[in-house]
Amino acid sequence: MQGRAMAGSGRSEERPSRQINVILRSSEPPVISQTVSEPDASPAVTDKLQQGVFQEIRKELDQLVGLDNIKTLVYEIFALLQVARLRTDAGLLSEAQVFHMVFRGNPGTGKTTVARIIAKLFQKMGVLGKGHLIEVERADLVGEYIGHTAQKTRELVKKAMGGILFIDEAYSLARGGEKDFGKEAIDTLVKAMEDHKNQFILILAGYSDEMEFFLDTNPGLPSRFPIQIDFPDYSVDQLIQISEMMVKERDYILMPQAILKLKQHLLAEKAESLQAFSNARYVRNIIERSIRQQAVRLLNQYGGSSPGKLELMTIRTEDLKVDKKPNST
């Protein structure tokens, strides 16, 4: 699929380049909606449509706040796979598709989460045998002597067969230039993409600017990654929504005052530390820390007696320690 998906950004004015929309590189104008819409299915094809597969994937996507354009893209991939199957059944040509992707975005913007969902979709649609995700970074690929890198990289490709090889901070492979072993890793990956076409999907992930630079400095690369997705920074409101979902999943409740405190903290934090801000990962760390604080408070407050169900669930303002930065990783 020749797609280039870029989601609208919640990034600040300092870095407007993140404010982009989905563009499809096909001859047809893109049909992009903000919701995951399904085409009308005529009774003749309904039986063959694997809508059930998509319902399951959509359930997982629905649990993610925002990322509308990514949700749309996932549906496009599903539709393409589905129609390719129908075309094959009808005796029509069905071109083999390339699904290698580039995910661009700051930490904690959902890249790994989305990669997992996509792996599952490909597995359920029969494109990938296993649908597992192998997540690696430079140190896993690059070795210590000539030939070592190619060997390490090949081994990881082998592990990823039938699934997705996800390389985080992929731009770091090009950082050291021609003499760096990173180049050997890139060359090995490119060869593996040729040798094992359609047997695994490669996703390169990293910060937007660096990934752009990385692809620009390797002329052969962009065309090998027809799907490029931008993961925008979350707005404060989206981060609050994510926090509320995270506490709900864990059977906790944030008091309204605690939400307000978190909101004010996030506004300040986002304004101050744009580069290092790790989005949903940052709020997850705050939530997990608050849960620990709440536990300590309850023990201090109640000693040996039980606090009661509601109290066990409630995270109060004083549990939310947002003055010190939580670990961003």
Q: How far is the CB of 120 from ligand ATP (least distance, A)?
A: 14
H/E run at residue 171: none
Please list the alpha-helical segments (H only) found in 125-233. 138-141, 148-160, 181-195, 208-216
C-alpha 241/C-alpha 259 separation (Å) is 10
Q: How far is the CB of 15 from ligand ATP (least distance, A)?
A: 17
From the list ligand ATP, Mg ion, none, pick the one residue 281 interacts with, judged by a Cβ distance below 5 to 8 Å according to partner type.
ligand ATP
From the list ligand ATP, Mg ion, none, pick the one residue 66 interacts with, judged by a Cβ distance below 5 to 8 Å according to partner type.
ligand ATP
C-alpha 284/C-alpha 280 separation (Å) is 6
SS3 assignment, position 167 = strand
Which residue is listed with tokens 């649990």?
63
Binding segment toward ligand ATP, per CB under 6 A, in 47-55, 61-69, 155-163, 173-181:
61-69
Region 81-140 residues binding ligand ATP, contact defined as CB under 6 A: 105, 107-113
Q: Which two tokens stand for residue 289?
A: 């820390």
CA distance to 61, 95, 135, 234, per residue, from 67 (Å): 9, 29, 21, 9
* Residue 30: DSSP 8-state: P
Q: How far is the CB of 239 from ligand ATP (least distance, A)?
A: 9
Instruction: Rule CB under 6 A: choose which of 10, 66, 182, 232 binds ligand ATP.
Output: 66
- The yes or no reply on residue 112 touching Mg ion (CB under 5 A) is yes
Q: How far is the CB of 111 from Mg ion (least distance, A)?
A: 5
Q: How far is the CB of 164 from ligand ATP (least distance, A)?
A: 13
Residue whose CB is less far from ligand ATP, 8 or 307 = 8
C-alpha 280/C-alpha 122 separation (Å) is 25
Size of the site for ligand ATP (CB under 6 A): 19
Question: Which residues fall within 8 angstroms of residue 286, CB to CB, at 6 or more apart?
Answer: 243, 262, 265, 320, 322, 326
C-alpha 117/C-alpha 328 separation (Å) is 24
Residue whose CB is less far from Mg ion, 1 or 170 = 170
Region 201-260 residues binding ligand ATP, contact defined as CB under 6 A: 242, 245
Residue whose CB is less far from ligand ATP, 270 or 281 = 281
Give the binding site for ligand ATP (CB under 6 A): 64-67, 105, 107-113, 168, 242, 245, 278, 280-281, 284
